[in-house]
Structure 1
Amino acid sequence: MERACAAAAPPAPEARMWRGKGRALLAFGLGVAFEALAWWLLRWRRRRLGTSSSPVREVLFFPSRVTCVEGLLAEEEAAAARRAPCACPLPHGESALSRLLARVLSARRSLDLCLFAFSSPQLRRAVVLLHRRGVRVRVVTDADYMALRGSQIGPLRMAGIQVRHDQETGYMHHKFAIIDKKMLITGSLNWTTQAIQNNRENLLIVEDRDCVNIFVAEFEKIWENYNPVNYIFFPQKEKQVLKKNKT
């Protein structure tokens, strides 16, 4: 009987205190575990969607030192060749041009280019490579400069890439690119060999939603304004065909 009463007696205050601390430590541990799990799931989701843990903030200055960029521009099916050492005499390593190419080639869904002048063979190869991979590429350029010797606009069109140009008295003087509608590349640099190798130029590369959306809206406005349906030099019959194809 005495033993039964002793067993039914309430626990001592010290035991209750330690039991309460145990529960608090358990709750704290579970909270830390859930927080760590949420952090891991967020990182996993970002990796799966192809997004980095922090937004891109990068500035490139030109002229760029000359380096070999063949490893970046190799076709996907030439992966083995890309891993092999390049035999060209150009120095290897990172440069402003190689970093720009890497950013451009990171496009997975869309690439919108609004460029005054485009004559760089390396950048043209990167744009065509994206087009072959299924990335939607659109190019807006200046009517006068796209016809100059060395312009890459003709080869882009021959590759099947959509190109539109102005028909205004002033220049289409923009110099920006939008990657997947989330990354902006803008600055003083024309995509020309002269600018890349000889000029003092700059590029700002950012992932900032508000800033990118402003440039997206500007590109879409220009793209529609430069619709071939609105070109004044097309005969009326050809304009009707363009309107019909558009619808």
Structure 2
Amino acid sequence: MFYKYLKIVSFTAISLTPIVLTYFLKKRYIMLMEQSQPPDSGNYEIIFTTIDHRNCKQHLYKKIACSESCSYNYLVTIVRFFESAKHSISLCMCISTFNEVHDALIRAHDRGVVVRFISDVEMLNITATKKERLRSAGISIKVQPDKSKILHHKFCLVDENYPDEAKLFFGSLNLTCQALTSNWDITVFTTNYETISRFREEFDYLWYSFNFL
């Protein structure tokens, strides 16, 4: 009887071994995968604008949003992005004409934030850019030296030298009324520091390559 019982136990143990082994191997695999995951890579938020926003042009002037996706709300989001800066703003923008944006840059400069602005040389020919007002306020502006070329970038870094505070937006959106109400455009906001570092390198390269306005 004892040998019969031992035989049953042995058979059961042998039968369960693959199941138990598989369980522990799977558990070990999951643990290793979790340990190999990169640290928090930051968040991303995306704004899309389309020609469907054309009716929102009046809301930009009246400063009243018609909905959550109103162009005026998008402008407020961008202005708040500038207002969040504690140390620096590095703006690289083909064309910027919004008074709200320029006011935010001047306020940031006045509270001690280092503001650098790179733009296309076409700013020289557009009155709405208020370039002289920005320069008079003490904001440094640079443009590309070759007037036959276009600086087409649209991105902005805030506090880029402080990993815990750094943020970035980039995309196809110019800071103009037309871009927010009459074009198909995209703007991506992120705190991913790897992406921020790459944009910071590009901004610094352009800054030391271009001329003061």
TM-score, scaled relative to structure 2: 0.67
Give the secondary-structure state (helix, strand or coil) at the position aligned to 1:220: helix
Would the alpha carbon gap of residues 67 and 183 (structure 1) be closer, same or farther in structure 2, given more than 3 Å must change?
A: farther
Does residue 179 (structure 1) correspond to residue 177 (structure 2)? The answer is: no
Query: What CA distance in whole angstroms lies between the structure 2 residues aligned with 1:90 and 1:180?
Result: 28
Would the alpha carbon gap of residues 90 and 185 (structure 1) be closer, same or farther in structure 2, given more than 3 Å must change?
A: closer
Give the counterpart of 1:141 among 100, 111, 119. 119
Among the aligned pairs, what percent are the same residue?
26
TM-score, scaled relative to structure 1: 0.58
Give the secondary-structure state (helix, strand or coil) at the position aligned to 2:174: coil
Query: What CA distance in whole angstroms lies between the structure 2 residues aligned with 1:220 and 1:176?
Result: 13
Aligned to 1:91: 64
- Whichever residue aligns with residue 138 of structure 1, its letter is R
Aligned to 2:87: 109
CA contact (8 A) 1:113 1:139 kept: yes
- Whichever residue aligns with residue 82 of structure 2, its letter is V
From the CA coordinates, give the structure whose radius of gyration is larger: 1
CA contact (8 A) 1:113 1:176 kept: yes
Structure 1 position 227, deviation (Å): 4.1
Stretches of structure 2 lacking an aligned partner (at least 5 in a row):
1-39, 161-165
Would the alpha carbon gap of residues 90 and 215 (structure 1) be closer, same or farther in structure 2, given more than 3 Å must change?
A: closer
Cα RMSD over matched residues? 2.5
Does residue 208 (structure 1) correspond to residue 188 (structure 2)? The answer is: no
Aligned to 1:160: 138
Question: Which protein, 1 or 2, shows the higher relative CO under an 8 Å CA cutoff with sep ≥ 6?
Answer: 2
Give the secondary-structure state (helix, strand or coil) at the position aligned to 2:142: strand
Structure 1 position 199, deviation (Å): 2.0
Aligned length: 159
Tell me the alpha carbon deviations over residues 128-171 of structure 1, each in whole angstroms, 9 at most, x when there is no partner.
Answer: 11111111000011112342121132211111101111111210
- Whichever residue aligns with residue 197 of structure 1, its letter is T
**1:1-247 equivalences in 2 (<5 Å):** 55-62=42-49, 65=56, 90-91=63-64, 95-168=73-146, 169-181=148-160, 182-228=166-212
CA contact (8 A) 2:145 2:211 kept: no
